[in-house]
Amino acid sequence: MLYVLIAIAAVGLISSTVFAGMVLAAVPRFLRERRAAETEVRKRPRFTPPLTLLKPLAGGEPDLETHLASFFEQDYPTFEILFCARQADDAGLEIARRVAARYPQIPAKFMSTGEPPYINAKVASMELMEKSAAYDILVISDSDVRVTSDYLRAVALPFADGKVGGMCCLYRGIAAGGGLWARLEAVGMSVEMTAGVLVARMMEGMQFVLGPTMAFRRDVIRRMGGFEVTADYCADDFVLGNETHRLGQTVVLSHHAIDHIVINLSLMSSLKHQVRWMKSTRFSRPKGHFGTALTFSMPFGLLGLAAGLLLGQPLWGVALLAWGVATRLALSITVGRMVVRDPSWFNLLVLYPMRDLMGFFFWAASYMGSRILWRGRVFQLLPGGKMRAAE
């Protein structure tokens, strides 16, 4: 039986090493593209179409004022920012109004939907903002995102190609309060998420977008049926990107990485958020999600260590564990540091192997039921990624 465990550990380590190799093979292409794109942006290209930024809000969040201010401080000629929440007196809207007052030169609008008619409440805000948008390239970003002043130039750049219908940005996780659980979640964003995206792009091209920042041509959104196509889905970003691809439009992964702020500071809030994301992925992409188990290495490394010790072969066990750690460090340095430029060496070198182990358990937890907790409400996920209010 112990030799069976050794065999399982070896198979898992081989599969996770193959995955790591695929990620490392995808990185040079991304870095070449980034160098070329950054050269274009530095030239301040003439292609700077007017943009409409859509910012759905839901309450006040830590440092929301700072995050929103970063969108007003853009080195870009013409853009507007639209904010929308469920209620006119939403705390997030109040903060947005306060920030906008400091930048009177930037057009801003503030809207509210009332009680939304959709399961995914954000969709009602997106519909209302799209109807009010002055410009035909729509840039959508979450409230827990912080950007640099060259952000809009990077977002606009792919749309110089008329075949591009949508784009998205990679992101690095930033722990708002610096606590352990937030930092573990943040390094998972920087490395695990990015690695998966790079491999998916290499294998099948971009057929999805990433929610923290995504942009579309307005006519593409209208051709797919408007934002209403995502009304019953949890992973609305995946649906929008997939529909764009199905329309024959190119989806681009930008060279530009943004800051995604982790606001789940406690253990329980972080666990609930990550299990919810894993469950959403399981229902949206069930085959790919099932295979995700073989991309983790630390569970198999620890299994090999335990089996080696029980067999009286500690060197075998230590070697298997060291193998697992080595592949994680290769990923964290190459992807976390080189691709998304995560500044935290402690997160990348110390916490990421631990996060890899946790990721496996989040994956396993995704198969324990179909219910998720989202903004204080319980929903049931359905095949295909749709959801409904839990009974």
DSSP line for 346-371: HIIIIIHHHHHHHHHHHHHHTTS-SE
Please give the pLDDT value at position 100. 97
Handedness of CA 158, 75, 58, 228 (dihedral sign): negative
Structure tokens at 300: 């198999």
Are 99 and 201 found together in one domain? Answer: yes
Inside any domain, residue 33: no
CATH code at position 265: 3.90.550.10
Q: Are 371 and 284 in contact (CB under 8 A)?
A: no
- pLDDT of res. 92: 95
Domain identity same for 259 and 352: no
Whether 39 is in a domain gets the answer no
Strand partners, 71: none
Amino acid at 252: V
Q: Note whether residue 357 is domain-resident.
A: yes
User: Residue 113: which of 95, 131, 136 has the closest Cα?
Assistant: 131
Domain end position, chosen among 281, 316, 341: 281
**Quick count: other Cβ atoms within 10 Å of Cβ 40?**
15
Same structural domain, 339 and 252: no
Residues 221, 290 share a domain:
no
| 263 found inside a domain | yes
Tokens of 36: 């070329």
Residue 81 falls within a domain, yes or no? yes
- Is 129 inside a domain boundary? yes
Maximum separation of any 2 CA atoms in the chain, in Å = 72
Q: Final residue of a domain: which of 232, 250, 281?
A: 281
DSSP 208: -
Domain boundary among 281, 308, 341: 281
- Sequence-separated (6 or more) residues with CB below 8 Å from residue 359: 188, 192, 296
Q: How many domains does the chain contain in total?
A: 2
Q: Write out the residue range of the structural domain in which residue 15 sits.
A: 2-23+285-389
Distance from C-alpha of 56 to C-alpha of 126, rounded to nearest angstrom: 7
Mark whether 135 and 250 lie in a shared domain.
yes
3-state secondary structure 246-267: HCCCEEEEEEEEEEEEECCCCH
- Measured in whole angstroms, the distance separating CA 354 from the mean position of its chain's CA atoms is 20
Asked if 124 and 192 sit in the same domain, the reply is: yes
pLDDT of the residue at 45: 64
**Residues 123 and 269 placed together within one structural domain of the fold:** yes
Please state, in angstroms and as integers, the Cα–Cα distance from residue 141 to each residue in 81, 132, 199, following that order: 11, 17, 24
Q: Are 387 and 379 in contact (CB under 8 A)?
A: yes
Which regions in the chain score pLDDT beneath 70? Answer: 44-45, 391
CA distance 195 to 330: 11
pLDDT on residue 121:
86
Q: Is 40 within the bounds of a domain?
A: no
HSE-CB of 355 using CA atoms within 13 angstroms: 28
* pTM of the predicted protein model: 0.92
Question: What pairs with residue 377 in β-bridges?
Answer: 374
Is there a single domain that holds both residue 309 and residue 270?
no
Residue 380, beta-bridge partner list: 371, 388
Q: What is the pLDDT of residue 44?
A: 62
User: Is residue 374 domain-shared with residue 236, that is, in the same domain?
Assistant: no
Co-location of 290 and 265 in the same domain: no
In a domain? residue 353:
yes
Query: Could you tell me if 143 and 215 lie in one domain?
Result: yes
In sequence order, which residues have a C-beta less than 8 Å from that of residue 225 and are 6 or more positions away?
none
Clarify whether residues 257 and 359 are in a common domain: no
Task: Enter the tokens of residue 48.
Answer: 């700077």
